Amino acid sequence: MGNSLIRRSAARLGETIDARRAEAASRLDPRERSRLGQFMTPTAIADFMAALFTQWPQHTVLLDPGAGIGSLTEAFAEEFRKRAPRGATLEAHTYEIDPILLAYLRRHMSDIATPIIDQGLGFEGFVHDRDFVAEAPFLGGMGARRFTHAILNPPYKKIATTSAHRRLARAAGLETVNLYSAFLGLAITLMAEGGEIVAIVPRSFCNGVYFEPFRRYLLERAAIRHIHVFDSRTSAFRDDAVLQENIILRLVRGARPGPVTLSFSRDASLQDLVSREVPFTEVVHPDDARVFIRIPSGAPEVPGTGTFQHTLAELGLTVSTGPVVDFRVRAHTLPNPREDAAPLLYAHHFRDGHLVWPVTHKKPNALALTPETRKALLPRGFYTLTRRFSSKEERRRLVAFVVDPADLPHPLYGFENHLNVFHANKAGLSEDLARGLAVYLNSSAAERAFRVFSGHTQVNAGDLRALRYPDRATLAAYGRWARGSTLPLTQDAIDALVERPRGR
């Protein structure tokens, strides 16, 4: 009977937390919310995260930095009640700086304590009203690497090079560009040997150029044991409409790299979860100088895609961010074409895959030729372009178009900064190669391969360099197919071509 009472009180606590989270979220100032990166973990995800821990020692010391109202500590405490050995104790340390959330957190900690103590287990909860990034160096400095467990959904916010947070993280040996990676890095630093960390964080650190020092920091100190991926971009935090794609990581401080469990679910309910194990070398390729953390797709591999092995350099091609930054050359932009001006192409000049230029739009259509603007222009020719930004509703991130010089009889072209441009040493490509490259980039196989290492809505030139491509002959064959096709190039038609077993 005692147990069922505890279960009932725990169930009530779960409901209370959902209600408190909604109430707390509604009381937060939206600007402040964005400044502090306050997106709260839904209960189903918090429970899933807590269930990933594997070690339940006699004395557990938990770290929950950026605790909000304490949802993660509460999910952890539930798991502790279920799995810790008889007589075990839990010492929970939470860090939070928002006064509204702190009030909820304090109330919440005493609710968390009751069922644990009722069950005959020990509990000590600490609410530290402190900036975790400022506090962490002192915790570590005192030789206090004593946390056995850390559970975190840290704030997401870029940190400026000159900010106090950047200096503080740097002092701890951590060179990083976002608060979430600073929190995760500092949590790793503070863990006891063998300590486990479960964190929900944006995927952007897995391949971002600026995150390379952070990836090295993480991989030198901890082993990745589990990565959970949400298939849809907004599902993890539906009620907060967070755009970044999130992953859940389980790390073990000081452990050797070993097999990594990958799990996938479509949404926050985690009902359709599938998982599999892959060797660590599939996640971080041993010869990858930039140490990307790659997340192989959940779907079975498409036959043949594994044979696309060529780098752009091997194909003799380069991809660059569109070199024209319009506000820097504002004095030279023109609303309408002129004979002595270059077309200035934006993503909105492509409709249903076709160039429509000029168009009536608030953005300019052309760029006057001056010594300054000429430096950013490319000579007339065939180019393959991709958009750098997609909206969260769009199914695809890779969207490619071809510029055909027959449509633009000007000697020089301007490509605006929201596009990526494939070129051959700053000149155009052959028509077949340009069209074939667009076919490949628009295929489902390329999209899947791309998503293995990119989790955000942006498509950066660096990501396109990391992608692997078919060889020149195959690309040219795709190009001939596209040129010869009298029907629209539908997704099905492209996929049937690209996924056809090679040699047929």
Ligand X SMILES: C[S@@+](CC[C@H](N)C(=O)[O-])C[C@H]1O[C@@H](n2cnc3c(N)ncnc32)[C@H](O)[C@@H]1O
| Interface stretch with ligand X, choices 128-136, 185-193, 373-381, 422-430 (CB under 6 A) | 128-136
Q: Which is nearer to ligand X, 101 or 369 (CB)?
A: 101
Interface map 325-364 toward ligand X (x if CB under 6 A) = ----------------------------------------
Q: How far is the CB of 78 from ligand X (least distance, A)?
A: 15
The two three-digit tokens of residue 310, written as one number? 């060529």
The tokens 């949400």 sit on which residue?
A: 230
Q: Which is nearer to ligand X, 95 or 205 (CB)?
A: 95
Q: Which is nearer to ligand X, 40 or 378 (CB)?
A: 40
Q: How far is the CB of 89 from ligand X (least distance, A)?
A: 23
Rounded CA gap, 342 and 368, in Å? 6
Residues numbered 52 to 71 that lie near ligand X (CB under 6 A) are 66-68, 71
List CB contacts of 344: < 8 A, sequence separation 6 or more: 324, 326, 333, 334, 364, 365, 366, 367, 414, 416
The two three-digit tokens of residue 362, written as one number? 């608030």
The two three-digit tokens of residue 265, written as one number? 């679910």
For 317, how many CA atoms within 13 A lie in the half-sphere containing its CB? Answer: 30
Counting contacts by CB under 6 A, is residue 96 touching ligand X? yes
Rounded CA gap, 488 and 486, in Å? 7
Q: How far is the CB of 103 from ligand X (least distance, A)?
A: 12
Counting contacts by CB under 6 A, is residue 131 touching ligand X? yes
Residues numbered 76 to 95 that lie near ligand X (CB under 6 A) are 95
Torsions phi, psi for 123 (to 5 deg): -145, 135
Q: How far is the CB of 161 from ligand X (least distance, A)?
A: 17
Q: How far is the CB of 200 from ligand X (least distance, A)?
A: 7
Rounded CA gap, 252 and 422, in Å? 41
| Interface stretch with ligand X, choices 30-38, 82-90, 370-378, 443-451 (CB under 6 A) | 30-38
Interface map 146-185 toward ligand X (x if CB under 6 A) = -------xxx------------------------------
Which pairing describes strands 222-230 and 191-202: parallel, antiparallel, or unpaired?
unpaired
DSSP state of 297: -
Interface map 439-478 toward ligand X (x if CB under 6 A) = ----------------------------------------
The two three-digit tokens of residue 451, written as one number? 């998503």
The tokens 């408190």 sit on which residue?
A: 20
Q: How far is the CB of 134 from ligand X (least distance, A)?
A: 7
Among 13, 39, 319, 416, binds ligand X (CB under 6 A): 39
244: left (phi over 0), alpha (psi -120 to 50) or beta: beta
Rounded CA gap, 257 and 219, in Å? 9
The residues that bridge with 60 in the sheet, in sequence order, are: 90
Interface map 290-309 toward ligand X (x if CB under 6 A) = --------------------
Rounded CA gap, 361 and 185, in Å? 45
Q: Which residues bind ligand X (CB under 6 A)?
A: 36-41, 66-68, 71-72, 95-98, 101, 131-133, 153-155
